[in-house]
Chain A
Amino acid sequence: MDLSFSAEDEAFRTEVRTWIADNMPPHLAAKAEAAGHFEMPEIMEWHRLLYSKGWVAPHWPKEFGGPGLSATQRFILSEEQELAGAPPLSPFGLVMVAPLIMRFGTDEQKQRFLPKILSGEEVWCQGYSEPGAGSDLASLRTSAVLDGDHFVLNGQKTWTTYAQYADWIFCLVRTSAEGKKQQGISFLLIDMKTPGVEVKPMQTLGHTPAFCDTFFENARVPKENLLGPLNGGWSLAKALLGHERTLVAAVGQTRRTLRLARRIAEHQRGADGKPLIEAPHWREKLARLEMRLRAHQMTNYRALVEQQKGHHPGPESSILKLVGSILVQEADELCMELMGEASLSWHDEGAVAPFEQWVGPAFCYDRATTIYAGSNEIQKNIIAKLILGLPSS
């Protein structure tokens, strides 16, 4: 057993840190410094910068343009970005659909889609959930009926994150009503400019337009945009789930929020006039979360090492999602408590310190972390069934 990073890894960490410091444009750096909120155009700006350095898709194989980093280096790369407060990249293209295209796509599909995902020229979103199909995704009803060389799509997707900025959407659609629900589902890649596709942005609890309703009305999608076999979409979806859950371990996000908490504790004062960080009560609250995070972080390292050995993320990734999502929320809650009355402030520039601006909206929006990417209740069901082997009711 060995806890240390190799000298090579440490050198890589320094290289990443220096590159970020030298290359993050001032307006992004200012937002990062103020723990601000990034909208999609800023996220894509950062995407393209990383692309120019060759670092935008650390987990991609070299043949598709990945940098050929080890799992540890990939982890360092994402951790350094999160610690620097860099815009979190949109996962839908890079992390979600691209690996599926590599694994299940035709050569034409690989050539058509992968380079533009890598460069950031095309932005993607995820169309799984429907009003009637959330946790029970397999009951989805958006239908795709073959008509000559096209699928004709009708139905509604919902909670599609940042669909208003997307050029493409990957969807699970129903192509057959026969057999088990899971058997009639296909995986389609859809151009958002297709006539009959309509996007309606919605406000989240954090008062950001982060998700949308996406409607399909007789939208015609070319047959070649089917990914994987007809009626074989469910296995593609399952292959993706493990990846999605490792994503939401959110170690870097929580570390960053706890650093923000420390900053707030240095800024806000108690009734005695002293910064809160000098009071044992607040120091200990902060310490507790940092300590919990260490255990989570080690769990994440363990999963990473497994991945490095070539194992696909299995049901264990549910643990990362479960713990990671709760730590995100607890760190937000601590920031709110530290701010006291100032935590009432809402999208109101100048009412609180610049780095305190987004604490309230994040506290509200992050209630979603225990809901999306498979709710925590569903993760517990998975662990109970697949790891503990408990009988189902």
Chain B
Amino acid sequence: MDFDLSDDQKMLVKTVSDFGKKESTVERFRKLRDDAEGIGWDRATWKKMGELGWLSIPFPEEAGGLGGSFVDAALILEQLGKTLVPEPYLASVVLGGHALWLGGSAEQHEQLLQPMMEGDTTLALAYAEPGIRFDPRCCATTAKREGDGWRLEGEKAFVQNGHAADHLVIAAMSDEGMQLFVVDGADVKRRTTKHIDGHRGAHVDLAGVVVPESRRLVARPATEVLERVLDFGAAATVAEGLGVAFSMLWMTVEYLKTREQFDVKIGTFQALQHRAVEMFVEVELLKSINVESMIRASEEGPERPAAISAAKLQLAQGGQLVSRQAIQLHGGVGVTDEHDVGLYFKRMHALVTLCGDEAAHVARYAES
């Protein structure tokens, strides 16, 4: 076993971390969040991420990528999580991007994946549906052959980056089983939704949308693609969640060292020291299982879902212990919108929920 990063990976981590510290602090996220007219993130920053290779790094060279792996994407996400960088890395690179890569043809890679990797477009994956719990195998949206194309029917809900994405990958059920299609954002009825973590998404109404056959993803069976992509997605929520939890832990430790009550630093109270230790231990467990989940995310076979579901459980239990205690130990100031700790708390909830929540992953693990 070897848990060391390569020199290239160390460089990558440092670059992304510096970017967070210097160019994309929580303050930037807050401004973008509070701009009611905006999309919640910034296209110029996205373009820059493309130029730095962050958007193409996990994809193989045949698909136009830099030939890294999912581990590189996870390393990036962990750093982005530390300062709540709002650009849609998870939605576009991990979900939309991996669906196109695994499901798409060389031509589709060139037309739809390439511009995203360069930072010119963004993607989204529409899997969740209103009122139905997460399950990659389940889908009420339908696709029927019509002429040379397919007619879609149904609704997708809380599509991450769905409001801004140039292209959306849509899961739909046909007579021949699950299918994946790529539609242009401009061609669907979408309503921007506001999310708890200050991000935005879309409610997508597919009624009457007709997609040409050339926009169907057929390189692999759609169920297989979707299952693998949602596992990449789940592993991505864990990687980003690690960054989020890390920041909250150290922000809280710092607060315990500075806040005074009863004429002493509150960090001198043993009850609070123990609480901080519990937070620390949970972050360490999360760090460990994140290693397994980000490596196994690219594997085939039963160890992949097992590791990823275990990581999601740790995020739900450990990550949320951290986010809840972080608020608690900040006292009243933790319950204001003004303090950053609450922004992290909310992002943690979103990450726990996306790509299968605790219940979904425990059930999958138990049944396998």
Contacts and interface: CB of A to CB of B under 8 A. Distances in A.
Given A341-B353, A345-B196, A371 B134 contact: no
A340 B133 contact: yes
Contact of A368 (B157, B158, B335): B335
Contact of A336 (B324, B328, B349, B354): B349
A345 B195 contact: yes
B196 A371 contact: no
A353 to B, nearest CB: 8
Nearest to A135: B261
B1 interface: no
Interface in A99-138: 129, 132-136
Contacts of B138: 271-272
Interface in A324-346: 336-337, 340-346
Contact of B203 (A336, A351, A364, A380): A351
Given A342-B158, A364-B342, A136 B131 contact: no
Contacts of B269: 377
A368 B328 CA distance: 8
Contact of B358 (A134, A205, A273, A337): A337
B201 A344 contact: yes
B336 A367 contact: no
Contact of B137 (A269, A271, A351): A271
Nearest to B324: A367
B328 A341 contact: no
Interface in B295-331: 324, 327-328, 331
Contact of B132 (A269, A363, A371, A372): A269
A135 B331 CA distance: 9
Given A203-B336, A367-B345, A371-B334, A343 B272 contact: no
Interface string B226-266: 00000000000000000000000000000000001111000
B271 interface: yes
A367 B197 contact: no
A380 B271 contact: yes
B78 interface: no
A136 B203 CA distance: 48
A360 B133 contact: no
Contacts of A341: 128, 134, 157-158, 353-354
B8 interface: no
B337 A203 contact: yes
A377 B158 CA distance: 38
B144 interface: no
A281 interface: yes
Contacts of B331: 134-135, 371, 375
A163 B269 CA distance: 32
Contact of A340 (B194, B263, B328, B353): B353
A348 B354 CA distance: 19
A100 to B, nearest CB: 23
B328 A371 contact: yes
Contact of B337 (A202, A269, A377): A202
A134 B131 contact: no
B151 interface: no
Contacts of B278: none
A118 B57 CA distance: 67
A367 B328 contact: yes
B193 interface: yes
B47 interface: no
A276 B357 CA distance: 15
B332 A129 contact: yes
A271 B271 contact: no
B332 A205 contact: no
Interface in A359-391: 360, 363-365, 367-368, 370-372, 375-377, 380-381
Contact of A371 (B262, B263, B332): B332
B215 interface: no
A134 B335 contact: no
A302 interface: no
A193 interface: no
Most buried by B among A207, A341, A376, A377: A341
A340 B332 contact: no
A276 B134 CA distance: 12
Nearest to B328: A370
A228 B359 CA distance: 55
A176 interface: no
B133 A276 contact: yes
A345 B336 contact: no
B194 to A, nearest CB: 4
Contacts of B324: 367
Contacts of B346: 205, 364
A270 interface: yes
B7 interface: no
Given A202-B336, A344-B201, A364-B342, A268 B133 contact: yes
A270 B272 CA distance: 40
Contacts of B367: none
A336 to B, nearest CB: 7
Contacts of A360: 196
Interface in A238-293: 267-273, 276, 281
A73 interface: no
A344 B271 contact: no
B261 A344 contact: no
A351 B193 contact: yes
A337 B196 CA distance: 14
Interface in B342-368: 342, 345-346, 349-350, 353-354, 357-359, 363
B337 A271 contact: no
A140 B137 CA distance: 59
Contacts of B262: 135-136, 139
A185 B243 CA distance: 45
Contacts of A372: 332
A377 B266 CA distance: 11
Most buried by B among A134, A159, A340, A371: A340
Interface of B: 128, 130-135, 137-138, 157-158, 193-197, 201, 203, 260-263, 269-272, 324, 327-328, 331-332, 334-338, 342, 345-346, 349-350, 353-354, 357-359, 363
Given A132-B260, A135-B331, A205-B335, 15 more contacts: A139-B261, A202-B336, A203-B337, A211-B336, A268-B133, A269-B132, A271-B134, A271-B138, A341-B354, A343-B349, A344-B196, A344-B353, A348-B194, A360-B196, A371-B335
20 contacts: A134-B261, A136-B263, A139-B261, A139-B263, A203-B336, A205-B336, A207-B337, A270-B132, A271-B132, A273-B132, A281-B359, A340-B357, A341-B354, A342-B130, A344-B193, A348-B194, A351-B193, A360-B196, A364-B342, A371-B334
Sorted from nearest, which 3 A-B pairs have the closest CB atoms? Answer: A271-B135, A203-B337, A271-B138
